[in-house]
Amino acid sequence: MTAGGHEGGVRPRNIYLDYNATAPLLPSARAAMEQTLDELGNPSSAHRLGRRARERVETARETVARLARARTDEVIFTSGGTEANNLALSASLADGGEVWASAGEHSSVLGVLEASGANWRALALTADGEICTDALSECLSRAERPPVLLSVQAANNETGVLQPLEPVLELSRRYSVPLHVDAAQYLGRIAANNALAEAEMVTLSAHKFGGPQGAGALVARDASLLSPVLRGGGQENSRRAGTENVLAIAGFGAAAESVTDSDSFLRLEPLRERLEHDLRASATEAGVELRIAGAGVARLSNTSCFALAGGRADMHLAALDMEGVALSSGSACSSGKIEPSHVLLAMGWSRDDARGALRLSMGWATTSASLSRFVELWERLCLGPVARRRGARVAAAH
């Protein structure tokens, strides 16, 4: 809880459950940014003020490197996870070879691949949302030419499903394929494992774990895999041109320091288990099927993606928003048209079920009381109408 007695600095009636979209700013990040606001200087300038700005950037680089188990010279600051993913793919797409990525990747990976005109392959997901490593192994063994890059999310932003990174890394090593891991939803919540410490490239995003929006990083252990997307000055060792966003980077570094070696994220798992238990129990009592994505495999402890049979995510989100509840759907909305989640479709969900999916994601300010209140509202605004429609259809059929 924040000093005002409510979550994330928003109004008391609001319940914020959309951390996978963006997390409330951590107090440490806010303090670092407030201090930086009073300072002046371009980090590329040689004078005292410039050197002070450079010190801010390099201090943040050290803390981000510790979070990612990387060397400081491997950390490239970007404007966020999307730019980091674009940078990670840039050289491989120009190579002329084939890039492989899971079918559940973020749009900042799949969108780049689709728009590039380059050769790429989408790796199928299991019904639980994981890459099938046996199938990946078979594909690699049969490929006439191995892919020039393998890109895999550490944790899915919609379902929270954790990918089997250790066996994926082992396969990438066996077939000499560079590995890029999009860890935007992972790092800052879970400690970096060996796969992240050894992957050639790793994406981070500050605002997913309490840093500011507008700051991210790409860890690049092999500079030959990069082709700069932004060209101009020699910033970031000529790997990303443009004056560094000192204010956001300072907040990024402070947030990274706060979450490195912290186990506070673990407290969310029992909250999620209780939440899903309550949702299932209510749906069962109402005679409505409830489906939870990835419930049988390891997931981020803060994430639950679920759908009521016959539910409509757009209607549910609108009703909950009127009561001050902020969460997301498993669908993409473009020009008012609701499209089913590509992630859930890749997991074998029907288009109707995917259109009904809601994504609830918790974080550092989430309380048990707020989740209990959410369940009450969900029962009244979402489950109730679906159950009544179902009852009316059953009655009409008889």
What's the CA gap between 224 and 168, in Å, rounded?
Answer: 22
What's the CA gap between 63 and 337, in Å, rounded?
Answer: 42
Burial group, residue 183, by CB count within 10 angstroms (0-12, 13-18, 19+):
buried
- Please report the DSSP string for 342-355 in residue order: HHHHHTT--HHHHH
Give me the helix-helix angle, 27-37 and 246-259, nearest 10°.
150
What's the CA gap between 255 and 240, in Å, rounded?
Answer: 22
Count of beta carbons in the 10 Å neighbourhood of residue 385: 17
Burial group, residue 315, by CB count within 10 angstroms (0-12, 13-18, 19+):
middle
Give the residue from 101, 98, 117 showing the smallest Cα distance to 109: 101
Question: Phi, psi at residue 331, to the nearest 5°?
Answer: -115, 160
Give, in order, the Cα–Cα distances in Å from 339 to each of 59, 288, 303, 319, 330: 42, 23, 21, 19, 9
What is the biggest distance separating any 2 CA atoms in the chain, rounded to whole angstroms? Answer: 83
The three-point CA angle 260-263-268 to 5° equals: 125
Q: Is 232 left (phi over 0), alpha (psi -120 to 50) or beta?
A: left
Residue 132 designated active-site: no
Give 15's contacts (C-beta < 8 A, 6+ positions apart).
Answer: 7, 324, 325, 326, 370, 373, 374
Count of beta carbons in the 10 Å neighbourhood of residue 32: 26
Coil, strand or helix at 99: strand
Residue the block writes with tokens 């859930």: 344
Q: Which position among 132, 305, 333, 382 bears the catalytic label?
A: 333
End-to-end CA distance of the chain: 51
State the catalytic residues: 333
